[in-house]
Amino acid sequence: EEKEEETCSFTVPNYACQRRTQLHHHNPSLSDALTLLAENAELNEDDGRAVAFRRAAAVLKALPAEVTSVSQLKGLPCLGEHSLRVIKDVLKDGSCSEVETTKHSQRFNALKVLTGIFGVGVKTADRWIRDGIFNLQQLRESQTTLNRAQQAGLDHYEDLNQPVTRADADSITEIVQEAVSSLFPGAQVTLTGGFRRGKMTGHDVDFLLTHPEEGREEGLMDKVVSWLDSQGLLLYQKTSRNSYLESRDGPGRPSSNMDRFERCFAIFKLSRGQTSPPAGHQWRAVRVDLVVTPISQFAFALLGWTGSKLFERELRRWAGHEKAMSLSSHALFDKTQVINTLFREINMWNCSNHTRSPVSEAIPE
């Protein structure tokens, strides 16, 4: 009887957004191995493979006990041949040669260090590697021209690759809160991202700003950013405006991963007293994202910005495949109704112009 229990297999729902996943779980060595391969795939712009490894890692994180044999995984979703091979190796030898080779490869490490610079993506990092630049020292010594973001990223590399603590996040929340409520009474600040999920550390601090009256959020970002800047609290900032209505994937087509809210990518200068910078330092640099949303889209923005990235991706996939709905950080659409509305509009246009006979609706309501 005991033996049967030992080899008893697990079941988990198909989509990550249907599962409860704890930060601390039973299979860290397996999920770490798969996550490293996902990271490597991302650094090599192989998104399909990256998502497959991320999904496999997420399944292992959701299991109620430690896996001791691959036979327990029979019938679980998201575990492809490649992931199963990695799992089998780790269970048998404690490590997987593909993971070890990747972990020690020059290209993987160079890509990690270079994309670890704020403002540097995989394309830039890959170009630098082809130019013989593999680390920060080589980058500093080279004649490479950096843009403003990359220069700030390189200047504050140490700080920005140091985890942001909950205390840092709280200090920054206070600062942003103070700025917003003195400049825009009634406007609201909400901490999102990993800290909203209860994580104790993160790579940045994410905020949503809104105003309970639609339209009153206009001008909020400019004022807040100017105030923060005038107080000497910003080491870097770049603000992009809201482009939702004019975008190709605008209201009816929320397809792209990136949302289109007005957004500020900033690097805060957080002083001693506000938090605990490294010993001997008076302040530390912290990455902060500020996003402004009209109240009518706030719920979707809050859901979309709480993460994790895989959770959001899976929630959208579930909405699309299982509910025929389209979810973004801006809105939730019933796809059948959107299509029918389109057909109705075409018919109205055709009939009023007497050009064609009506087309039928695609999906009966």
Binding residue count for ligand DCP, defined by CB under 6 A = 15
Which among ligand DCP, Mg ion, none contacts residue 305 (Cβ within 5 to 8 A by kind)?
Answer: ligand DCP
Residue 153: name its binding partner from ligand DCP, Mg ion, none (Cβ under 5 to 8 Å by kind).
Answer: none
261 binds ligand DCP (CB under 6 A): no
Q: What is the largest CA-CA distance in the chain?
A: 78
Give yes or no for residue 259 binding Mg ion (CB under 5 A): no
To the nearest whole angstrom, how small is the minimum distance from the Cβ of residue 257 to ligand DCP? 6
Position among 193, 254, 277, 294 found at the interface with Mg ion (CB under 5 A): 193
- Are residues 202 and 164 in contact, defined by beta-carbon separation less than 8 angstroms? yes
The candidate with the shortest Cα–Cα distance to 266, out of 105, 152, 144, is: 152
Is 254 an interacting residue with respect to ligand DCP (CB under 6 A)?
no
Q: Given the complex with ligand DCP, which of 6 and 45 has the nearer CB atom? A: 45
**Which of 176, 304, 318, 333 touches ligand DCP (CB under 6 A)?**
304
- Verify binding: residue 39, Mg ion, rule CB under 5 A: no
Q: How far is the CB of 197 from ligand DCP (least distance, A)?
A: 7
Among 193, 254, 277, 294, interactor with ligand DCP by CB under 6 A:
193
Q: For residues 106 and 363, what is the distance between their CA atoms, to the nearest angstrom?
A: 53
Radius of gyration of the chain from its Cα atoms, rounded to whole angstroms? 24
Does position 304 bind Mg ion by CB under 5 A? no
- With CB under 6 A as the contact rule, the residue among 261, 283, 305, 318 that binds ligand DCP is 305
Asked if residue 308 binds ligand DCP (CB under 6 A), the reply is yes
Q: Which of 143, 309, 353, 357 binds ligand DCP (CB under 6 A)?
A: 309
Q: Say how many C-beta atoms besides its own lie within 10 A of residue 116's C-beta.
A: 15
Residue 33: CB minimum distance to ligand DCP, A: 20
- Choice between 179 and 288, CB closer to ligand DCP: 288
| Sole binder of ligand DCP in the list 167, 258, 346, 362 (CB under 6 A) | 258
How many angstroms separate the CA atoms of 237 and 131, rounded?
Answer: 29
- Catalytic positions, please? 204, 206, 289
Within a 10 A sphere around the Cβ of 259, how many other Cβ atoms?
21
**Site residues (CB under 5 A) for Mg ion?**
193-194, 202, 204, 206
**Site residues (CB under 6 A) for ligand DCP?**
193-194, 199, 202-204, 206, 257-258, 304-305, 307-309, 312
